[in-house]
Structure 1
Amino acid sequence: MRSMTGGCACGKVRFEASVEPTEAYLCHCRMCQKATGSISIAFVNAQLDEIRWDGEPDWYDSSPIATRPFCATCGASLGFLFRQDADKMDLTVAAFDDPSPFKPKHHFGAESMHRGWINTEGLPEYRTEEYQKLVDKWVTATGEFPG
């Protein structure tokens, strides 16, 4: 287990959690797809008593059995929690300050998996700084490109 920090895009909600980076997984269920607007979402499981929030997240009752923490200011999805009998919850891998240590262990919700999005090896790859229109927009708005 290792203690790692994370939070939402705007910084209003921050957290610290003890997690095992090799225990991450991708969820493809329709509930997660609809809640995040994505094909899948990467989660890692954490004990509830090992999560410390700095700035309480907002909560969305996404189904009769689950609720999800998020930031109402920036809209960032932060996790998933069963509403009853929960001693653990999932945190979104991308919300961690450094998501690079996480390694997916399995897929969940495979009945809703969009296989064409799983292996994208060989597709052209573009770096954000190579898209000059985007760089120009950042420079105009802030004076610099975030690097």
Structure 2
Amino acid sequence: MTTRTASCSCGQLTAITSADPVRVSVCHCLACQRRTGSVFAAQARFPAESVALAGASSTFDRVGDGGSRATFHFCATCGATVYYTIEGREDSVIIPVGAFADPSFPGPTFSVYEERMHRWVAMPADIEHMD
């Protein structure tokens, strides 16, 4: 078990976790591409009881293809998303991997919406795929 700190760009909003991620995943959906400003989103899911949140956040709710609502918490000062939660999965807090700014963070084991993946992106050979 490792303690890790995720934060926004200005450092005002933080998420500190005292657990290893339950799952690290990559999402190629168009909504995640727009949210991150990148060609995919990489995120890590943690047990909610292992995450300490600090700072003020603004929120944005998005309803996914499956009908569940995701609430994204971002810094009102710098705009960076630090964590989000999913309706019906209150036992988890999801944190974008980039918010940790840690190149040694574990890589993804799960990839979704690959039909929307940019053709020049390559996922690890041993990753689990879900369309």
> Does the Cα contact within 8 Å between 2:97 and 2:105 map onto a contact in 1?
no
Q: Which residue of 2 aligns with 1:51?
A: 51
Given the alignment, which residue of 93, 103, 113 partners 2:97?
93
Q: Distance in 2 between matches of 1:16 and 1:10?
A: 16
| Residue identity matched to 1:52 | A
Whichever structure has more strand as a proportion of its residues is 2
**Percent identity between the two aligned chains:** 33
Relative to the length of structure 1, the TM-score reads 0.70
- Find the residue that maps to 2:88 and give its secondary structure: coil
Structure of greater Rg:
1
Q: How does 1:63-82 map to 2 (within 5 A)?
A: 63=63, 65-82=69-86
AA partner of residue 49 (structure 1):
E
**Letter paired with 1:3:** T
Segments of 5+ residues of structure 1 without an aligned counterpart are 120-147
Count of residue pairs brought into register by the alignment: 119
The 3-state SS of whatever aligns with 2:5 is strand
Residues 110 and 69 (structure 1), Cα distance of their counterparts in 2 relative to 1, 3 Å cut: same
Aligned to 1:37: 37
Q: Distance in 2 between matches of 1:105 and 1:86?
A: 22
The reply on whether 1:24 has 2:7 as its aligned counterpart is no
Aligned: 1:118 with 2:122: yes
Q: TM-score, normalised by structure 2?
A: 0.77
Structure with greater proportional helix content: 1
Question: Once the 2 structures are TM-superposed, how far is the Cα of residue 17 of structure 1 from its aligned partner?
Answer: 0.9
Q: Match of 2:128? A: none
Gaps of at least 5 residues in structure 2 are 124-131
1:83 and 1:89 map into 2 onto residues whose CA distance is 11
Match of 1:135 in 2: none
